[in-house]
Amino acid sequence: MKTVLLAGGAGYIGSHMLKSLLAAGYHTIVLDDLSGGHRHSVRGGTFIEGSIGNTSLLSQIFRTNRIDGVMHFASCIQVAESVRKPAEYYTNNVSNTVSLLKTMTENGVHHFVFSSSAAIYGTPLHTPIAESHPKNPLNPYGRTKWMVEQILADFGHAYGLRSMSLRYFNAAGADPEGGLGEQHEPETHLIPLILQAASGRRDSVQLFGSDYGTPDGTCIRDYVHVSDLCLAHLLALQQLWEGASSNAFNLGAGTGYSVRQVISAAEKITGRSINTIKRPRRAGDPEVLVADITRARSELGWNPAFSDLETILTHAWQWEQK
């Protein structure tokens, strides 16, 4: 059975991916420095505490294990933080990723699945956004993701690396069985913030901008269930093993919901009122971000099964109540 290395496998998406791989019968190695992940989220496989920037540790891992593919979830992910701390983001998201790629190719491992982001597109010229949309990231976080995608292309030409870049829109939801969910500290994602307000763990939710040119004045975003993201990663790696060329895919639901719609749906599911506080718009927040997932459906064979808003909120609420 093949062995998969999950860089960042103790984090939100990585831990869900670990569960999916183990359920599919794969051997797994999780490499995570626990700066954003949680040891208790690694429920199976082999765990190694460490950074993808530790070249001697990487060399040891690849020399002592027969690794068939790598999935990379070990990025810093907060947009606002990336503006304040660009050095940290370029070091971890770019430099450390190059170290990982270099060690992979030196050890004959040529299959790589990368967690990219819709942040590479910047302010959309049109929606829904297809993969061919111009790339104009607005912040260091988005720029690091786009840089890595370009580095992957160069590694492909030079070293034969084949990769799949999966451009997430808004990852959301939790394990349908209730065992895993979002545990960011601090939390910055809308849905867990809303549900924390519903459960009483916070007093309110901040509503950044209520004067956009949308039906209710709030931003519209595309939410994709974490389990559907995991399915896409598995399909992508399997395609690489079968000889597929490098590619990039948008991952979303293909449908957008406004902030007010998400809050209203959460109130219905939880049966609780959610207090909101209006704030000014945040710089760089596009009005509408919705994915065109035509390519992922047709070329990856991916069909999101859990990414309607009600299911996402129901699974996330199960987790929040724990």
Catalytic residues: 141
CA-to-CA dists, residue 181 to 52, 56, 89, 202, 312, angstroms: 24, 32, 24, 18, 11
* 8 Å CB contact between 273 and 204: no
d(CA 100, CA 165): 15
By CB neighbour count within 10 A (0-12 exposed, 13-18 middle, 19+ buried), where does 66 fall? exposed
Q: Which helix (H) or strand (E) holds 251?
A: strand 247-251
The two structure tokens encoding residue 276 = 């909101």
Q: Name the residue with tokens 């990585």.
A: 14
| AA identity, residue 28 | T
CA-to-CA dists, residue 230 to 90, 113, 182, angstroms: 26, 11, 15
* 8 Å CB contact between 299 and 292: no
CA-to-CA dists, residue 271 to 20, 143, 150, 294, 306, angstroms: 31, 40, 46, 35, 21
d(CA 245, CA 317): 39
| C-beta atoms surrounding 219 within 10 Å | 23
